[in-house]
Amino acid sequence: MKKRYQNYDNVTSTKTFSDMLRWQRERRTNKKDLTIQIPQSEKKEILKLQQNRTDRSITWVGHSTFLIQLEGLNILTDPVWANRMGIQKRLTEPGIPIEQLPEIDIVVISHGHYDHLDFGSIKKLKGSPSFYVPIGLKTLFTRRGYSKVVEANWWDSFTYKGLQISFVPAQHWTKRSLTDTNRSHWGGWIFEAHNPKQSVYFVGDTGYFRGFHDIAHRFDLDIVLMPIGAYEPEWFMKVSHINPEDAIKAFLELKGRLFIPMHYGAFRLADDTGPEALERMYKEWDRLQLSDEMLKVLAIGETFWI
């Protein structure tokens, strides 16, 4: 019997058929304006990113996909350039065409859901990347001919050319077929660079959970790439998708120095919209009177030079 992976405290995201019907009824009466979308950056630095092997940068491609440049390495998180997700068309174009990426050294996957793991996109990547994946996902890669695949349990750490890569807990679930629910794990990835010391935490997909305290205890975090979208209706989504207010609460518990929001605006995964998620985030940020210097909201395709 293959193992099924669990969350902290055995928290589950199991929903009944009645729950699904209730959500669909609510969706039909809760119409949203999808004409306003997250903007593309007016200043895309694709050529500079292609040539860069010295400076540190973070570029938001969209959803949970980032190009991160640390220690002279090109890192991709959850690379998804798909035009559709199920029956839903992508709402915003990726910030960098996949053909214009530099050669990729490392790919990290947070979990196996299709909006985070898209083999059609992976197949188009330049270079010969090493893949770091949650335990249970390796066979999906090796079946497709990928040999440089490292599986990770929570709290496992690895070193790649001086960069430390650690897999940390999240509260979520996963499924790619009728029979593989939670047969692989889920989590976030922390990258720790040296000279000078600097860390980037890619949170992945998660609900709010007590694991943030444990992560803060083990890591000194500089930049936190935190999800804020796909939270509505909250009675349905709360366990597995964090809302903007709880995302800020988690960031403060993590004692991070810079908050970069993600996981909003690209796909219609829930009933909130990208602009709504941002509006709630800004409102909570102002309510708590947090410093503007601790928040960096990227346009799609925008690069933050660290």
> How confident is the model over 113-140, as pLDDT tens digits?
999 999 999 999 999 999 999 999 999 9
Q: Provide the pLDDT confidence category of residue 79 given band limits of 50, 70 and 90.
A: very high
In percent, the amount of the chain with pLDDT more than 90 equals 84
CA distance 202 to 219: 13
Which one is predicted more confidently, 237 or 285? Answer: 285
Given this model, what pLDDT does residue 195 score?
84
Residue 171: closest CA among 208, 136, 215: 208
Q: Provide the pLDDT confidence category of residue 1 given band limits of 50, 70 and 90.
A: low
Name residue, tokens 């390796």.
138
Rg of the chain over Cα atoms, rounded to whole angstroms, equals 18
Give the global pTM: 0.95
CA distance 103 to 74: 7
CA distance 178 to 283: 40
Structure tokens at 194: 């040296």
Dihedral of alpha carbons 144, 109, 172, 283, sign = negative
Per the document, the length of the chain is 306
Q: What is the pLDDT of residues 185-221, one digit of tens each?
A: 999 999 999 989 999 999 999 999 999 999 999 999 9
Superfamily of domain 57-305 in CATH is Ribonuclease Z/Hydroxyacylglutathione hydrolase-like (3.60.15.10)
Q: What is the pLDDT of residues 93-116, one digit of tens each?
A: 999 999 999 999 999 999 999 999
Q: What is the pLDDT of residues 12-66, one digit of tens each?
A: 888 877 877 887 877 777 777 778 899 999 999 999 999 999 999 999 999 999 9
φ, ψ for residue 157, nearest 5 deg: -130, 150
